[in-house]
Amino acid sequence: MSTSTSSKIAFSTAFIGTIMMYRLVNHLKTEYNKSNAKDVKAKKPKKKSITENNAQVIKKNRRHPKIEDQISLQALSELTKASNISLRDSAMKILLDRAISDDFLPDIIKACKTDLDNDVQKKAICTIQQLAKQDDNKRAIVNYGILDSIFKILSSTPNCNNDLKYWTLLILHQLSLTEELHSKMVEKGFIKLLAQLARRTFGNTSMQKLCFHSLVRIITELDDEQSVKYLNELLKLNIITLISSCLKNEDTELVYWTIGLIHEFAVKDIARNEISNIKGLLKIMLSHLNNDEASIPRVLIRTLKCLGVCNEPFQKEMIKQGIIEKLISCLNSNDEDVQCWSILLLHDLSRLEECTDEFIEGKGIETLLSLSSEVNVHLNLHITDILVYMLSSDKNTEFINDPKFHEVVLNYCQSSESILQYAGVALLLNLVTVADEKCIYKIIEDKTLEQLRYLIFESEKTNVMILSAKILLIISSKISNERSEEINNIITYNFVLPLIEKIISSTSSSIMLFFPNYVSNSPLSSPHSAVENNLLESPTDNYEPYSPISPVLDKFKECNVDEKELKRKNINNSLVFSDLKYKEIESLNGLLETLFTFIKSSFFDFFMDQYGDESLYNDDYNNSDNIKNSLENLESSLLDLLVLPLVKNNTTTNITTKTESDISNAAKEYSHYNDNNSSEDNENGINNFLENMKYQSGHSSRENDFDMEEGLDDYEENANEEVENEEQEANDGDKPKSKDDMKNELSINALNILSVLFQYGMI
């Protein structure tokens, strides 16, 4: 038969079928209209009785009459067997539409409960199973009591593998996909029933899959308290042995849902040891880790991370089974969640030496560096931690000189997120610590010194400033003797001297914040001075991250204070400082602690060798601008800060005059005391003077380590909150302080520096 003839026959058949359907529908419509017309003529208008009104309320959910209602059930039954697919599907749709109506559904539900006619019960269950495929039908089915019938059928012990129970389990599985029905299912005891049924149907993979899937769906949506309660109940049913058996099944879907149940135990920290001891667990889980479906590796990695918490033997076994190679592949996944949990698991494993070596050999560093620009702050904090661990490996030479690695580290140091910036500086500190001289020169070529200067003079975080100073000192110690003087001169003229000048200018400004009517006798104050834009100038104002480092600093700018303007701006002497004033005081504390980091190091020996060496003072330096005068001005400012806690804050002019005298006299008295005692007595005098100040203080160093503990579940919802908590922990010193607390802290930092200067015989 030719193709043309076949096409004509098919077209004719379809055309005839369409005509027949049209005539059938048209006939039904005519009959329906006639029937309605007779009813209207026969009935007379009358008042509805109370009984009819109640019946209307009861029947309010019933279907409105439709044309297809004229087709009998027997006719529809025949149409479902028709060879025409469209006709067959239409008949089935009409039947299901009638079945879900209030006219038929109660009887179908009732038929599910009968034990007398097994054939009728099977048909009723099959009908309900078809209805349960649509979400809109599920509520009505449950409201009419189908859960009781399901529980009764599934809990009957004889022959658990028959068709009736399979179709009933299909209904339960369909209902478990709707979250709003879970509470009713839990109340009826289906969690325990599903666990028991999964054991009874052992060997029937299809039914076990439905049981585990339904269990996971229900438990996942429970709140934490309920899920812990029911997971512990499952333990009493010896669910771990069942899990162990199902993991070894050849059916991939059953294994996946079994791992899903393990995940619920792991994230709730229930039976983790028992689960991690299951023989062959890691081998089975890792075999599914590279599954193309993203949801599978996502759950697997999260489960492994939870099982490995505080379980080093399990972590080492993971590495032994080859998880590092698979994690590197997962880092390249297009799924963000897979990348996220891979980083988190890698963070836990990177503490182990076996992990770092294998990760470096597998070129995982390159992948990790490329991810740094794509992931959020929280994950970048974990990446910095991982890189720190990698630097501790003997094989770090494979990436330590990589310009891409240096670029990523410096990008972290420039981050606008304070906690990530601190993590970047800490990473840079570890880098320069393990680097050799060749690597140090490469780091310097990457404009690292310029970045460090920016962090020291522009950062608002003391811990960042201190770490930056430590990095400079380590770099200096790594330079060979031939060039050590060059790097030390760079640190002296580009960091230490500008730092001293900024401390001197900030001290004058800060004292006037405490005492607005006080005019300092500092050599930096002048009655003829003027300040542009009402700001204090400094040789360190407005550094850019990569403004060039010069071999020696240009002549220092004069730091002048306009006393009248400062008095006008600080007329308010309230006990609570504004945020701007508070930041200025904190900035001065940071500068003092940074300078203390410099002067307590061996570098200061070099610095003091230059002290008083007139050959260093060229013609551009006058007597007030040389190193010697800078140190003398620094001492004067530090003495002012030292006596701050001894001076009470008063607001009236008369008392202020007395206060000015108190400051001056206290400083003179302290200076005179030092001039009349030997070096040993002076050191004791400082200690006695400090004890008499009667202030409360903490440790002068305020370096903070950020806490990187990762929650075990709901990472996607809680990541932002965790970053905020980490920032709060890393910056505990940023809480508002009283004036007295700030005075005490300034005094302590000043005393720390003075004590070192005293040891060099400068006081």
pLDDT band at 647 (very low <50, low <70, confident <90, very high): confident
| pLDDT recorded at residue 130 | 87
Segment among 96-105, 147-156, 651-660, 732-741 with least mean pLDDT: 651-660
Which of 154-168, 195-209, 521-535, 734-748 is the most confident on average? 195-209
Distance CA 445, CA 403 (A): 10
Rg of the chain's alpha carbons, rounded to an integer? 40
More confident residue, 92 or 363: 363
Distance CA 274, CA 240 (A): 8
Tell me what the mean pLDDT of segment 495-505 comes to. Answer: 92
Tell me what the mean pLDDT of segment 72-76 comes to. Answer: 66
The number of C-alpha atoms within 13 Å of 213 and in the hemisphere containing its C-beta is 20
| pLDDT above 60: residue 433 | yes
Tell me what the mean pLDDT of segment 139-158 comes to. Answer: 88
pLDDT tens, position by position, 342-365: 999 999 999 998 999 999 999 999
| pLDDT recorded at residue 658 | 42
Tell me what the mean pLDDT of segment 678-703 comes to. Answer: 39
| pLDDT recorded at residue 30 | 63
| pLDDT above 60: residue 669 | no
| pLDDT recorded at residue 196 | 94
| pLDDT above 70: residue 508 | yes
pLDDT band at 605 (very low <50, low <70, confident <90, very high): confident
Closest among 759, 757, 469 to 593, alpha carbons compared: 469
pLDDT band at 703 (very low <50, low <70, confident <90, very high): very low
pLDDT tens, position by position, 206-253: 999 999 999 999 999 999 999 999 999 999 999 999 999 999 999 999
| pLDDT above 70: residue 9 | no
Neighbouring C-beta atoms of residue 496, cutoff 10 Å: 23
pLDDT band at 591 (very low <50, low <70, confident <90, very high): very high
| pLDDT recorded at residue 689 | 37
Q: Which residue stretches of 515-618 are H helix?
A: 563-569, 579-599, 603-610
| pLDDT recorded at residue 585 | 87
| pLDDT recorded at residue 294 | 72
| pLDDT recorded at residue 190 | 96
Two tokens, residue 119: 């054939």
Two tokens, residue 422: 């601190």
| pLDDT recorded at residue 385 | 96
| pLDDT recorded at residue 412 | 96
Dihedral sign of CA atoms 59, 64, 68, 69 in order:
positive
More confident residue, 200 or 662: 200
| pLDDT above 90: residue 300 | yes
| pLDDT recorded at residue 103 | 80
Closest among 24, 735, 709 to 378, alpha carbons compared: 709
| pLDDT above 80: residue 504 | yes
More confident residue, 113 or 521: 113
| pLDDT recorded at residue 676 | 44
More confident residue, 544 or 679: 544
| pLDDT recorded at residue 700 | 34
Tell me what the mean pLDDT of segment 730-755 comes to. Answer: 78
| pLDDT recorded at residue 552 | 36
pLDDT tens, position by position, 461-487: 999 999 999 999 999 999 988 888 889
| pLDDT recorded at residue 117 | 67
| pLDDT recorded at residue 100 | 81
Is residue 644 within 8 A of residue 741, CB to CB? The reply is no
* Distance set, CA 527 to CA 560, 676, 718 (Å): 9, 33, 57
| pLDDT recorded at residue 465 | 96
More confident residue, 9 or 126: 126
| pLDDT recorded at residue 398 | 85
| pLDDT recorded at residue 715 | 42
pLDDT tens, position by position, 179-205: 999 999 999 999 999 999 999 998 899
| pLDDT above 50: residue 736 | yes
**Which residue carries 């998880």 as its tokens?**
323
Tell me what the mean pLDDT of segment 720-732 comes to. Answer: 49
More confident residue, 297 or 651: 297
Q: What does the domain layout of the chain look like in residue ranges?
A: 496-759
Backbone angles phi, psi at 427, to 5 degrees: -65, -40
Backbone angles phi, psi at 753, to 5 degrees: -70, -45
Closest among 93, 110, 203 to 149, alpha carbons compared: 110
The number of C-alpha atoms within 13 Å of 407 and in the hemisphere containing its C-beta is 8
Segment among 203-212, 251-260, 290-299 with least mean pLDDT: 290-299
| pLDDT above 70: residue 33 | no
Dihedral sign of CA atoms 206, 211, 214, 217 in order:
negative
| pLDDT above 70: residue 652 | no
Q: Provide DSSP, 46-82.
A: -PPPHHHHHHHHHTTTSPPP-GGGGS-HHHHHHHTT-
Two tokens, residue 57: 């309320």
| pLDDT recorded at residue 116 | 61
| pLDDT recorded at residue 99 | 75
Computed over every residue of the chain, the mean pLDDT equals 76
Contacts 24+ apart (CB under 8 A), 202-210: 202/242, 202/245, 204/160, 204/161, 205/249, 205/251, 205/254, 206/166, 207/160, 207/161, 207/165, 207/166, 207/169, 208/246, 208/249, 208/254, 209/251, 209/253, 209/254, 209/257, 210/169, 210/170, 210/172, 210/173
| pLDDT recorded at residue 553 | 32
Two tokens, residue 392: 């501790």
| pLDDT recorded at residue 49 | 44
More confident residue, 236 or 564: 236
Tell me what the mean pLDDT of segment 449-467 comes to. Answer: 93
**Share above pLDDT 70 across residues of the chain, in percent, rounded to a whole number:** 66
